[in-house]
Amino acid sequence: MIWYLGRKLFIYLLTFFFAVTIDWLIPRLMPGNPVDIMVSRMALRADAAEVVRSYYIQAFQLDLPLWRQYLNFWIALLRGDLGVSIWLFPQPVISVIARAVPYDLLLLLPAILLSWVLGNQVGAMAARVRWLDNTVLPLAYILTATPYMWLALLLAWSLGQVAGLFPISGAYSYNIRPHLSWVFIRDLLWHWTLPFLSLFLVMFGGWAIGMRNMIIYELEADYSRYLSALGAPQRLIRRYAFRNAVLPQITGLALQLGAIVAGAVATEIAFAYPGTGYLILQAVLNQDYFLLQGCFLFIITGVLAANLIIDIVYILVDPRTRLGMVGE
């Protein structure tokens, strides 16, 4: 078990190292000098351009030898220094991201957990109820093929714009300051509903399909046939099938994290929901490269942490990993 977790941890550390190197390398690898490109795109007056230019040269440390630039990049990173945002000058990138994190968690955690749990339940039911299989499954295929942002736009247009039930942008009304009160919490939840729903629905489709197929596969397995030959009640067999089918779904959750992140980014942009995805849009619109690179590192760190948590859950759920019977 220690060995299993250690190996995973090693891969994650290596991935983090790789990601930070990409983050450092890409601005330097691209054709032309990144500073010239950025300054020319900003369309500033000549004197202002010179100030911005000297700031960037210093920030990128382009006057130092390469190995020194790389080392300094790591040192700054470990100190939590991700540079200064251009969009919200002069706030440091790290505090801009820190403000967005609660909204990301508020949106993603319930959407991921609820869609996973409900998707598995409904998928398992669809595997044994014919009418459910014929109604839920086609719907699940449509949902899982839907681009996140389109479902978001569709919900915003139908439930928000036409029906007028929910607000279509922001995390809370403009006339309310964030504070701890029922009025604010209700407003927050009211704004949260549509982004949550669009994330939830797309993910739900994928989990339901996966679980339905896994259950059918498990019910065909030898142990299920043996149990039913022994005359075990169907409920018992299905419980065993469910327990076995859940394991690949946990692994699937880890594999899906990248797609989920992409979905969250798109959804937050569609609803102007002030999480990291919205920051990325603003960073792109405002040529705020430090903010963009900060968001990149934040997403990588988040995904790696989530992977680690899923690994630990897997160890808790699957006794074979504890006994060292599974290599990978």
Partner 1 sequence: MGSRSELLYFAWLNTKVRVGALILALFVILAIVGPLFARHDPNAYVGPPAHPPSSEYWLGTTTFGQDVYSQFVHGLRATFIVGLLGGGIGTLLGVCIGLLAGYRGGMVDEILNMFTNIVLILPTLAVLIIIAAYLTVRGILVESLFIGCTAWPWAARAIRAQTFSLRAREFVDLARMSGRSSWKIMFYEIAPNMLSYLFMTFILQFGGAVLIAATLDFIGLGPTQGISLGLMMNNAVLWAALPLGMWWWLIPPGAAITAIVGALYVMNVGLDEVFNPKLREL
Q: Which stretch binds partner 1 (CB under 8 A): 49-57, 60-68, 143-151, 221-229?
A: 143-151
Yes or no: say if 84 and 290 are a contact pair by the CB < 8 Å rule: yes
- Residue with Cβ nearer partner 1 (85 or 293): 293
| Residue carrying the six token digits 């299920």 | 224
Question: Hey, which bits of 74-208 come out as E strands?
Answer: none
In this chain, which of 51, 145, 232, 305 binds partner 1, going by CB under 8 A?
Answer: 145
d(CA 15, CA 13): 5
In this chain, which of 14, 75, 189, 305 binds partner 1, going by CB under 8 A?
Answer: 14
Nearest alpha carbon to residue 305 among 143, 109, 155, 158: 109
257 to 8, 108, 147, 198, 302: CA distances (angstroms): 16, 11, 15, 16, 10
Can residue 144 be called a binding residue for partner 1 (CB under 8 A)?
A: yes
| Residue carrying the six token digits 């330097």 | 28
Can residue 289 be called a binding residue for partner 1 (CB under 8 A)?
A: yes
Phi, psi of 230 (to 5 degrees): -75, -10
Can residue 11 be called a binding residue for partner 1 (CB under 8 A)?
A: yes
Angle, alpha carbons 247-252-258 (nearest 5°): 155
Can residue 221 be called a binding residue for partner 1 (CB under 8 A)?
A: no
Can residue 199 be called a binding residue for partner 1 (CB under 8 A)?
A: no
Rule CB under 8 A: which of 58-97 touch partner 1? none
- Amino acid identity, position 50: E
Q: Which stretch binds partner 1 (CB under 8 A): 16-24, 188-196, 228-236, 243-251?
A: 16-24
- Residue with Cβ nearer partner 1 (74 or 183): 74
d(CA 261, CA 231): 46
Reading phi first (left if > 0) and then psi (alpha if -120 to 50, else beta), residue 155 is in alpha
Residue 94, SS3 per DSSP: helix
In this chain, which of 39, 156, 211, 310 binds partner 1, going by CB under 8 A?
Answer: 156
Residues touching partner 1, count (CB under 8 A): 59
Residue 201, SS3 per DSSP: helix
- For the purposes of burial, counting CB atoms within 10 Å of the CB of 134, is it exposed (0-12), middle (13-18) or buried (19 or more)? exposed
As measured in angstroms, the least distance from the Cβ of 235 to partner 1 is: 26
Rule CB under 8 A: which of 18-47 touch partner 1? 18-19, 22-23, 26-27, 30-32, 34, 37
In this chain, which of 74, 150, 223, 226 binds partner 1, going by CB under 8 A?
Answer: 150
| Residue carrying the six token digits 């939840």 | 189
- Residue with Cβ nearer partner 1 (106 or 299): 299
In this chain, which of 199, 266, 279, 310 binds partner 1, going by CB under 8 A?
Answer: 266
Can residue 300 be called a binding residue for partner 1 (CB under 8 A)?
A: yes
Can residue 165 be called a binding residue for partner 1 (CB under 8 A)?
A: no
- Residue with Cβ nearer partner 1 (3 or 182): 3
Report the interhelical angle of 93-126 vs 276-285 (nearest 10°).
130
In this chain, which of 112, 168, 201, 215 binds partner 1, going by CB under 8 A?
Answer: 168
d(CA 65, CA 28): 12
Instruction: Give contact residues for partner 1 (rule: CB under 8 A).
Output: 11-12, 14-15, 18-19, 22-23, 26-27, 30-32, 34, 37, 141-142, 144-151, 153-154, 156-157, 160-162, 168, 255, 257-259, 261-263, 265-266, 269-270, 280-281, 283-285, 289, 292-293, 295-296, 299-300, 303-304, 307
